[in-house]
């Protein structure tokens, strides 16, 4: 459960039957009211319209050190921005700090079974098609110049630092002491 650390409106809580169904898939599932947001919609092929739409945030809550550290880092970066910081980033950082991992945003006025159906599909893909989806995403990213540059940089860095680290770790150390 998400603590009351984040200022979410208590007047907009998800319907109990939807939350119950989500938790039947994953006991740590939470559905939070994120608030009205601007969304761009495409009308036809050439026209884009901006509308205000209510948005719900679906995620899971599992406390761990990585999420806590990530949330803390996001909050610190927002503190440096001061008043100019983004309100949504603050809220999201505080959720991550509490162990929240977002699954998806849903632009619905009232949560329906569509959120449950989408969550079931996402869980099935994660459990059954992770290897195929991951391989496809990796194949798409391999042809991009940013990916190739990052791989080259990391490879060059490892080659440059590797011999020195190897010598430091293993030079003149032929046996291990036992207490």
Q: Is the pTM of this model over 0.85?
A: no
Reference 57, options 111, 93, 1; nearest CA is 111
pLDDT digits (tens, 9 = 90+) for 79-98: 877 755 677 788 888 888 98
Reference 71, options 104, 100, 29; nearest CA is 100
Q: What is the pLDDT of residue 24?
A: 92
Cα–Cα–Cα angle for 30, 34, 35, nearest 5°? 145
pLDDT value at 170 more than 60: no
Q: What is the pLDDT of residue 130?
A: 67
Residue with more model confidence, 158 or 56: 56
Q: What is the pLDDT of residue 163?
A: 58
Q: What is the pLDDT of residue 84?
A: 56
Cα gap 33→10, rounded to integer Å: 9
pLDDT value at 15 more than 80: yes
Greatest alpha-carbon pair distance for the chain in Å reads: 75
Q: How confident is the model at residue 5 (pLDDT cuts 50, 70, 90)?
A: very low
pLDDT value at 168 more than 60: no
Cα gap 74→69, rounded to integer Å: 9
């Amino acid at each position: 459960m998400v603590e009351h650390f984040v200022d979410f409106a208590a007047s907009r809580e998800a319907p109990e039957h939807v939350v119950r169904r989500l938790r039947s898939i994953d006991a740590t599932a939470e559905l939070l009211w994120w608030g009205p947001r601007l969304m761009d919609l495409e009308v036809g092929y050439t026209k884009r319209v901006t509308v205000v739409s209510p948005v719900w945030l679906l995620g899971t809550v599992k406390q761990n050190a990585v999420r806590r550290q990530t949330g803390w880092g996001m909050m610190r970066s927002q503190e440096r921005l001061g008043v100019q910081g983004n309100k949504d980033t603050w809220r999201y950082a505080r959720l991550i700090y509490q162990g929240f991992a977002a699954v998806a945003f849903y632009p619905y006025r009232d949560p329906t079974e569509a959120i449950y159906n989408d969550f079931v599909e996402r869980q099935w893909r994660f459990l059954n098609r992770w290897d195929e989806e991951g391989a496809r995403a990796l194949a798409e990213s391999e042809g991009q110049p940013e990916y190739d540059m990052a791989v080259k940089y990391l490879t060059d860095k490892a080659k440059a630092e590797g011999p020195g680290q190897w010598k430091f770790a293993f030079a003149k150390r032929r046996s291990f002491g036992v207490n």
